[in-house]
Amino acid sequence: MDEEKGISKAVIARLPRYYRYLGELMEEGRERISSQELSQRMKVTASQIRQDLNHFGGFGQQGYGYNVRFLHESIAKILGIDRQHNLIIIGAGNLGQAIANYANFERGGFMIKGMFDVNPRLIGLVVRGVEILGVDDLERFIREHDVQIVALTLPKAKAAEIADRVVKAGIKAIWNFAHVDLVVPEDVVVENVHLSESLMRLSYRVSSIQDQAKERALRERGDQERAAKERSKARRLQVFEEKKAAMR
Amino acid sequence: MDEEKGISKAVIARLPRYYRYLGELMEEGRERISSQELSQRMKVTASQIRQDLNHFGGFGQQGYGYNVRFLHESIAKILGIDRQHNLIIIGAGNLGQAIANYANFERGGFMIKGMFDVNPRLIGLVVRGVEILGVDDLERFIREHDVQIVALTLPKAKAAEIADRVVKAGIKAIWNFAHVDLVVPEDVVVENVHLSESLMRLSYRVSSIQDQAKERALRERGDQERAAKERSKARRLQVFEEKKAAMR
């Protein structure tokens, strides 16, 4: 079996993207695909693809291609999305509701068992058939509904306290949207989604492009002194370009 | 100035986190902080912090610490969040509305100029004072409101087509939440937030822990044969542990 060989963390990190493309191929009714065609679709070299998918045993046959469904199912097994994960969402604001409504998750075996909030004005509301509960009985709910994953979409002021509570209640996986670094025991995994840091990275890259454009405009106007000033700013762009190159 | 030295992409990637911690210190009314204390708060070595913050010139004085506000402002400048970025959100569903309501963004200089949707049932609704518009006049709106960033929170079926339109309209930065890889020209930057891939990474880590627990239980029950089976699954956990170690 695949794990016998031990799969590197770099390959694991790439699996969700393979899984997505294979799912699209299945929607198109494709049964097989060659590493060459997959390479063109995913903008990854064919040899990279062959290396990665070799981990799943010899079902990439020369000149015959990969069995899409089998590969899709094998990757699902590795990622653990072939089994059911019970999930609750704590923080029933817009982001929490967005996640509750993200139907794709259930296709991946993620069952939203409950939604919670600390804001009394939200308690009792129903989102997609799920009633928003208060956090008083959080521990009992986690126990009774065999919850494995907690999505934290609370303001950061409340997130740390709630995280402590769910960890004490036995939760080993937190999907953290709160803009704070949670302190958890070694055996608890936290997947962070820091939206504002993502937006800052984008801002950095946009600003670099703006600075470079400004410098170009100044140079064209022959304003050498100010162009030099802008050039130093534009250094940022180099960094960004390196980054982009590194990602290719 | 900082960029004269050229800041590595690794440092840039760490800046949003520094920015967040410095912001929290300002909220606490702190004027200065030593690399040692910042190190304890951020769980990063003090020497790492000194290395990173050296790029901003010599305002970390021995035994005196960093000037919190100056450092906060300097990082804001590098990230380009000291200037205003006009942003529109295309896709006014839950996720789009979550982003529209995420007040923090405006503190970072991100002004939400408009919300758009392809769904006629949403057009005309008002979210936080912003009316949801149809996409017919998208290009004109981008021009007239000097929009620099487009947040794409559309279903993936529509995302590629809309991305092409906004790029043709001159947009150089897309914050992509659609579960698809956008194909854009070299000079357009895309920051992807693929929530379901994030959840799959979490699922992988949770499943690894479950497999290991199962193996342990079997071994305790002395069921060696089945334990061996589970052990191969548990290899995943090693990968995850390596990953975790690597992140420290």
**What is the complex's ipTM, to 2 decimals?**
0.79
Average pLDDT for B186-200: 90
- The whole-model pTM stands at 0.81
Write down the domain spans for chain B: 3-79, 85-193, 197-248
C-alpha to C-alpha distance for A75 and B116, rounded to whole angstroms: 36
Distance from CA of A204 to the nearest CA of B (A): 4
Position A70 pLDDT exceeds 60: yes
Chain B residues 172-191 with CB within 8 Å of chain A: 172-173, 175, 179, 181, 187, 189, 191
Nearest to B189, CA basis, from A231, A13, A217, A247: A247
C-alpha to C-alpha distance for A162 and A157, rounded to whole angstroms: 10
The pLDDT tens digits for B159-177 are 999 999 999 999 999 999 9
Name the CATH code of domain B85-193 (choices 3.40.1710.10, 3.90.79.10, 3.20.20.480, 3.40.50.720): 3.40.50.720
- Helix ranges (H only) for chain B are 2-5, 9-27, 35-42, 46-54, 68-79, 94-101, 104-107, 138-144, 156-168, 195-220, 224-247
Highest CATH level, class, for B3-79: mainly alpha
Nearest to A79 among B193, B195, B203 (CB): B203
* For A103, nearest residue in chain B (alpha carbons): B196
Q: Which residue has the higher pLDDT, B224 or A138?
A: A138
Half-sphere exposure of residue A196: CA atoms within 13 angstroms, side-chain side:
25
Tell me whether domains A3-79 and A85-193 share a fold.
no
Position B183 pLDDT exceeds 70: yes
* Lowest pLDDT segment from A150-159, A203-212, B182-191: A203-212
Chain B environment of A104 (Cβ under 8 Å):
179, 196
Could you tell me which residues are beta bridge partners of residue B192? Answer: B176
pLDDT of residue A161: 95
Average pLDDT for A6-35: 88
The DSSP call for residue A120 is T
The pLDDT tens digits for A200-243 are 888 888 888 888 888 888 888 877 777 776 665 655 544 544 44
pLDDT of residue B23: 92
Chain A residues 201-220 with CB within 8 Å of chain B: 201-210
The pLDDT tens digits for B65-116 are 889 998 999 899 988 888 899 999 999 988 998 888 775 566 778 889 999 9
C-alpha to C-alpha distance for A201 and A70, rounded to whole angstroms: 37
Average pLDDT for A88-100: 91
